[in-house]
Amino acid sequence: MNKKRYFLQLSYKGTNFFGWQIQPDHPTIQSELERVLTALHKNEKTEIVGCGRTDTGVHASKYYAHFDSHLVEDIEHWRYKMNTMLPQDISIHEIIPVSSEAHARFDADARTYHYFIHTEKDSFIHDISWYYKPDLDIEKMNNACLLLLDHEDFECFSKVKTEVNHFRCDIKQALWVRSDKGLIFSITANRFLRNMVRAIVGTMLEIGLNKMNEDEFKKVLMSGDRSQAGQSVPARGLFLADIAYPYISKTQG
Domain with CATH 3.30.70.660 in the chain: 110-242
Burial 46-61 (b: 16+ CB within 10 A, else e): bebbbbbbbbebbbbe
DSSP 221: H
pLDDT of residue 252: 52
User: Where in the chain is CATH 3.30.70.580?
Assistant: 4-107
- Whole-prediction pTM value? 0.94
CATH code matching the domain that covers 4-107, chosen among 3.30.70.580, 3.40.50.150, 3.30.70.3040, 3.40.47.10:
3.30.70.580
Alpha carbon distance 97, 75 (integer Å): 9
Give residue 82's pLDDT.
97
At residue 220, φ and ψ (nearest 5 deg) are: -60, -45
Kindly state the DSSP code that residue 26 receives in the 8-state scheme. B
What is the reported pLDDT for 104?
97
Pick the CATH number of 110-242 from 3.30.70.660, 3.90.1580.10, 3.30.110.30, 3.20.20.70: 3.30.70.660
Query: Average pLDDT of each block of 10 consecutive residues along the chain (253 residues)?
Result: 92 97 95 97 95 95 97 94 98 96 96 97 96 95 96 91 84 96 97 95 97 96 94 97 87 48
Number of Cβ within 10 Å of residue 4's Cβ equals 15
Report the pLDDT value the prediction gives residue 193, as an integer from 0 to 100: 93
> Which alpha helices (DSSP H) does the chain contain, by range?
29-40, 75-85, 138-149, 196-208, 214-223
CB 184, CB 138: distance < 8 Å: no
Please tell me the distance from the alpha carbon of residue 19 to that of residue 14, in angstroms, as a whole number: 7
* Catalytic residue check, 153: no
Task: Report the alpha-carbon distance of residue 224 to residue 183 in Å, rounded.
Answer: 28
Spot the catalytic one: 25, 55, 150, 242: 55
- Beta-carbon contacts of 246 under 8 Å, excluding residues fewer than 6 positions away, are 107, 109
Q: What is the C-alpha to C-alpha distance for residues 170 and 148, in angstroms, rounded to an integer?
A: 9
User: CB within 8 A of 43, min separation 6: which ones?
Assistant: none
Distance of alpha carbon 198 from alpha carbon 115, whole angstroms: 8
